[in-house]
């Protein structure tokens, strides 16, 4: 049955989920709603308009980094509650 440890584990897992979904929503949608003003900014040296750059590379990099960070954070939660798999 559900112990208090399990409940604590699941509530931390859930809040981690919501945090990452919020970041995902920001990079997937919010930032691209401002593409027109962002395109006025040109990234120095690389010469990209910022709005275009975010959709072509910026958000993608954010997604990749997020996933590696998420894998580590969730693993830490699992370990601290003793529900992680053996190495």
Partner 1 sequence: MATQSSANAEFYRNLGRMYGAYTGTFIGFVILLAILEQVGVPNRILGYLFVFFTLAVYALIGVMTRTAQVSEYYVAGRRVPALYNGMATGADWMSAASFVGMAGTLFLLGYDGLAWVLGWTGGYVLVSILVGPYLRKFGAYTVPDFMAFRFGGNFTRFLAVIVLVCCSFTYVTAQVFGTGIIASRFLGMDFTIAVYVGLAGILLCSMMGGMRAVTWTQIAQYIVLIIAYLTPIVILSTQKYGLPLPQFTYGQAIADITAREQQMIQSGLATAANLKPHIEPFLSYTPLNFFGIIFCMMCGTASLPHILMRYFTTPSVREARQSVAWSLFFIFLLYFSAPAYAAFSKLEVYTNIIGRDVSTLRPWLFTWGELGLIQICGKNAVNLDAAVAACKAIAGHPGVVRLQDFVINTDVIVLSTPEIAGLPYVISGLVAAGGLAAALSTADGLLLAIANALSHDIYYKMLDPNAPAFRRLLIARILLLVVAVGAAYTASHKPGDILAMVGWAFSLAMAGNFPALVMGIWWKRATTAGAICGIIAGFGLCLFYLVTTRYFPGVGVKYFGMTSLVHPVTGAPLVDIAKAMALPNAMESWPTLAHPLANKVGWFNLNNINCGLLGMPLGFLVIWAVSLITPEPSKEMQAYIDEIRKPRGDTILQEKA
Residues contributing to the site for partner 1 (CB under 8 A): 1-2, 6, 9-10, 13, 17, 20-21, 24, 27-29, 32-33, 35-36, 39, 43, 46-49, 51-53, 55-57, 59-61, 63-64, 66-68, 70-71, 74-75, 78, 82-86
Report the nearest approach of partner 1 to the CB of residue 80 (Å): 13
Report the nearest approach of partner 1 to the CB of residue 23 (Å): 9
Measured distance CA(22)–CA(38) in Å, rounded: 21
Measured distance CA(60)–CA(67) in Å, rounded: 11
65 contact partners, CB below 8 Å, separation of at least 6? none
């Amino acid at each position: 049955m559900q112990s208090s440890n399990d409940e604590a584990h699941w509530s931390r897992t859930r809040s981690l989920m919501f945090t990452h979904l919020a970041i995902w929503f920001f990079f997937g949608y919010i930032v691209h709603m401002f593409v027109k003003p962002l395109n006025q900014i040109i990234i120095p040296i690389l010469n990209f308009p910022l709005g275009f750059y975010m959709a072509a590379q910026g958000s993608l990099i954010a997604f990749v980094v997020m996933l590696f960070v998420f894998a580590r954070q969730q693993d830490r939660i699992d370990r601290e509650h003793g529900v992680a798999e053996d190495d």
